[in-house]
Chains A and B, each alone.
Chain A
Amino acid sequence: MTNSLEDLEQAACILVIGSNTTEAHPIVGLRIKKAVMKNDCKLIVAEPRRIRLCYYADQWIRQMPGTDVALLNGMMNVILSEGLADEEFIRERTEGFEEFKKIIEQYPPERATEICGVRPEEIRRAARTFASAPSAAIVYAMGITQHSHGVDNVISLANLAMLTGNVGKVGAGVNPLRGQNNVQGACDMGCLPNVFPGYQAVTDSQAREKFERAWGVERLPETPGLTLMEMTDAASRGEVEVLYIMGENPVISDPDVAHLKEALEGLNFLVVQDIFLTETAAYADVVLPAASFAEKEGTFTNTDRRVQRVRKAVEPPGEAREDSWIIAQVAARMGYNMGDISAPSVMEEIAGLTPSYAGISYRRLEELGELRWPCPSPDHPGTPILHVEKFTRGKGKFSPVEYRPPAEVPDDEYPLILTTGRVLLHYHTGSMTRRVQALHELDPENQVWVNPADAGRLGIQSGEEVGVESRRAAIKVRAKVTERVPKGIVFIPFHFGESPANALTNTALDPVAKIPELKVAAVRIIAGPDKDKLSFVRA
């Protein structure tokens, strides 16, 4: 997030796009509701499904999945043609505006309507509300990023923020909500194939030299490695022989499970380190029992870049051990001594090598409770808002984006669009929440949400088991007939291994971010006795 969570309450307008905030990030949802209920914030929800936030919205825009670029370009077209842009901000803080303008001029609302299905007057209204607000914040999540054009979506949002001068000030900004407790931290720590901790490029020889010295090794690899999805492909080609997975369950979370399973089976050796024998661990050659969050010391970095403590409350069960101990033991057996691996010492090492974490220490965290990076020195208070005076690269760059359709669109054979996501009471691959008795009782099984019109056409009743089939696989799941999804679109949560939504999803990747298109796939529903001819996948 460029801004802080507290900051959202100050926004005069919030555009929530591709985020079911009250279910996936409930506490961020509270901030948005508070902004609306107490501070008269105008909330625009752009979302195909009728999510809870729609009830608080000034305006609910129901764009078709995968058409966000057209919608946003249409809004920006209105902002430009009606003179609502922040010209001073554009002049002083940005570059590339003229080329950007040329593309935007090609997206009058009427053209956007043809693509995204939102009426021109609705696009105009949203554009006016957003651009005329003294401060307007953008909040998004995986509904924006999990597309074969996810990067385009994010760039469009950045364009919108810059066009209206909504960067670097209170109540504004571009605010992605991170879906997992420490997904921000895992990125910050260099668990990405192209960067060391603190986003220092592995291709930068100075960065490499610094880490070589600190880690006492002669040569660190200089070419970026493989992303998760590329690893799977490389494994199926036999190029990756050993895969070591720590605390992930890709069999449930990754698209096209059948393809992934093939890749896992094709590995020479799979190590899975986890707290449960997950669907992924079942494929492992070695399973290493790890400690849960309640059984160890450390830090997590949350969605607004806040580094906070994790403290040990109970002992791990049986012989389960902290991940840090396991990692250091493997390293030691390969002839490398990781030294003092206590959490405060490791943080000291991180701070010494990572400029944005340089001022973070356990002593300060004990005292202050939290520190937000960038925190470049031990006397720095942390940074609630990014890009206040200037952008990281100097001037903010407008990058014109043309609309590209999703990789798979509905046709006669697979006439419905499948979109996936989370529900309130479950979390990610379900390995934790589905083992919590009360949550399980309240939400015991998977459902496919179907619009009454589609249900009527297919002769489906709520509660009936149906087959949902894509080009990749079929799953058996109970139908929930609801107007919360529009006609032509079905929604399936991805938490449930016995009817895994991600068996159906598409592996088409964004060319830059390599993120799979989990939010749009073409499917068909098969009801009645015909469904029994399908072969159903379970994770």
Chain B
Amino acid sequence: MKHISLTIDGIEVITTPGRTILEAAAEAGIRIPTLCYDPRLEPYGSCRVCLVEVEGQGRGFLPACATPADEDMVVRTDTEKLRGIRRTIIELLLSDHPNDCMTCESAGNCELQDLAYEYGVRKPRFQGEQHHHEAIVDNPIIERDYNKCVLCGRCVRICREVQGVGVYDFANRGFEAVPGTPYNRPLTETPCEFCGQCVSTCPTGAIVSIPSKGKGRSWQVRKVRTTCAYCGCGCQIDLHVRDGRIVDVSSPLMVGPGEGNHCAKGRYGYGFVHHSDRLTTPLVRKEGELVPATWEEALGLVADRISKAVKEQGPDSVAFLASARCTNEENYLFQKLARAVVGTNNVDHCARL
């Protein structure tokens, strides 16, 4: 494949045609700040935080996320002028932002907070009218607080471009613009699939997951990469663990079959793990009732009854149902138990159901 070569911050960068300046820079390890960008979405170029200087291009400022890298381009990503522009953008956004990071669900996982931190914006220069929307809690999964919305359109775009559903679109104009639902209906009365993709792409705390609210900051959780336990897609997910409990689930961007996308079951279906109905001790039936027993008693009974059946009726009087939910290793051991230990091929699972 043909390659193109350009210069970013004095470094020669080789990339493939069609890549944006942002992508080419990332390949070379140069980070350009962004706000409306998500690799799952088409380039949008609305927030202007990723502006870079490109020599010989009109006034010279171009959005890195939406500008294709070109042969012999000379790009600067971090000049005084650019820092000034970005700072102003952040100040304007913060002039109408609650700045309640202390209680905001997204603190530590907020792109606006990160930008304010990086650019040292403590208090914006601008004073103006502020929004005072009520947070919208019209369903058990997704909460919307438009006071924190930066109008990046990521929720609108992910629902339309990736989910192909289009629950959100910009409603109203100017200062009153918000990413709304049709006729402001509750999400439960729209075609919303409760996948939480809007939550996953929202750069601030404007759209958050209700089930994980208050359960742990990003720096308080340990993320464990694993494979989703629901359908056969095999999406990679990160379980967020705090104090020995799963408090949230997220999907690593551009990894595995899901590539950072997720569905309602994969993202919100974790509550069963810590449910009080979980079995915590072996049970043995005594006088018709299942009663708690020790492992020693339960395992001994299982082994004895299998052995007895094998001895009296032959190994084929025992049958094993393996599990499409268990791991490969467990299923392997299970059929080994049936074949090598008991001596029967009576082993199947619910592949047909």
Q: Is the CB of B347 within 8 A of A191?
A: yes
Among B23-31, B84-92, B307-315, the one that faces the other chain is B307-315
**Chain A hits for B194, CB < 8 A:** 424-425, 442
Given the complex of chains A and B, what is the CA–CA distance between A515 and B348 in angstroms?
Answer: 12
B132 lies within 8 A of chain A by Cβ:
no
B143 to chain A, nearest CB (A): 12
Q: Is the CB of B269 within 8 A of A515?
A: no
Q: Is the CB of A311 within 8 A of B277?
A: no
Q: Is the CB of B263 within 8 A of A26?
A: yes
B346 lies within 8 A of chain A by Cβ:
yes
A33 to chain B, nearest CB (A): 4
B120 lies within 8 A of chain A by Cβ:
no
Given the complex of chains A and B, what is the CA–CA distance between A516 and B336 in angstroms?
Answer: 27
**Chain A hits for B164, CB < 8 A:** 30, 33-34, 36-37, 56
Per-residue interface assignment for chain B, residues 258 to 290, with 1 indicating a CB less than 8 Å from any chain A CB and 0 otherwise = 100111111011111111011111111100001
CB < 8 Å neighbour of A304 from B226, B229, B257, B309: B257
Given the complex of chains A and B, what is the CA–CA distance between A150 and B279 in angstroms?
Answer: 37
**Among A27, A194, A330, A331: residue with most chain B CB under 10 A:** A27
A91 to chain B, nearest CB (A): 34
Given the complex of chains A and B, what is the CA–CA distance between A285 and B298 in angstroms?
Answer: 10
CB < 8 Å neighbour of B211 from A30, A34, A350, A437: A437
Q: A221-B315, A287-B282 are in contact. Are A294 and B321 (CB under 8 A)?
A: no
Whose C-beta in chain A lies nearest to the C-beta of B245? A314
**Chain B hits for A426, CB < 8 A:** 265
Given the complex of chains A and B, what is the CA–CA distance between A350 and B353 in angstroms?
Answer: 26
Q: Is the CB of A338 within 8 A of B330?
A: no
**Chain B hits for A34, CB < 8 A:** 162, 164
Whose C-beta in chain A lies nearest to the C-beta of B257? A5
Q: Is the CB of A331 within 8 A of B337?
A: yes
Q: Is the CB of B290 within 8 A of A186?
A: no
Whose C-beta in chain B lies nearest to the C-beta of A219? B343
Instruction: Give the contacts of A461-520 with B (CB-CB under 8 A).
Output: 513-516, 518
**Chain B hits for A534, CB < 8 A:** none
Whose C-beta in chain A lies nearest to the C-beta of B142? A438
A28 to chain B, nearest CB (A): 6
Given the complex of chains A and B, what is the CA–CA distance between A486 and B287 in angstroms?
Answer: 51
Given the complex of chains A and B, what is the CA–CA distance between A215 and B342 in angstroms?
Answer: 13
Given the complex of chains A and B, what is the CA–CA distance between A145 and B149 in angstroms?
Answer: 47
A480 to chain B, nearest CB (A): 15
A343 lies within 8 A of chain B by Cβ:
yes
Q: A228-B348, A331-B337 are in contact. Are A287 and B290 (CB under 8 A)?
A: yes
Q: A25-B233, A191-B349, A370-B256 are in contact. Are A331 and B324 (CB under 8 A)?
A: no
A207 to chain B, nearest CB (A): 11
**Chain A hits for B81, CB < 8 A:** none
A524 lies within 8 A of chain B by Cβ:
no
**Chain A hits for B278, CB < 8 A:** 275-276, 289, 292, 317-318, 320
Given the complex of chains A and B, what is the CA–CA distance between A347 and B331 in angstroms?
Answer: 11
Q: A225-B345, A308-B236 are in contact. Are A250 and B350 (CB under 8 A)?
A: yes
Q: Is the CB of A275 within 8 A of B345?
A: no
A369 lies within 8 A of chain B by Cβ:
yes
A537 lies within 8 A of chain B by Cβ:
no
Q: Is the CB of B281 within 8 A of A369?
A: no
Whose C-beta in chain A lies nearest to the C-beta of B228? A181
**Chain A hits for B315, CB < 8 A:** 221
Instruction: Give the contacts of B306-333 with A (CB-CB under 8 A).
Output: 306-307, 309, 313, 315-333
**Among A177, A326, A370: residue with most chain B CB under 10 A:** A326
Given the complex of chains A and B, what is the CA–CA distance between A216 and B341 in angstroms?
Answer: 10
Given the complex of chains A and B, what is the CA–CA distance between A516 and B162 in angstroms?
Answer: 36
A180 to chain B, nearest CB (A): 4
Q: Is the CB of B282 within 8 A of A334?
A: no
Given the complex of chains A and B, what is the CA–CA distance between A179 and B231 in angstroms?
Answer: 5
What are 16 A-B residue pairs whose CB atoms fall within 8 Å in the complex? A27-B261, A30-B261, A34-B164, A186-B328, A189-B331, A244-B321, A246-B321, A246-B330, A269-B306, A302-B257, A304-B257, A317-B274, A330-B306, A338-B333, A338-B336, A435-B275
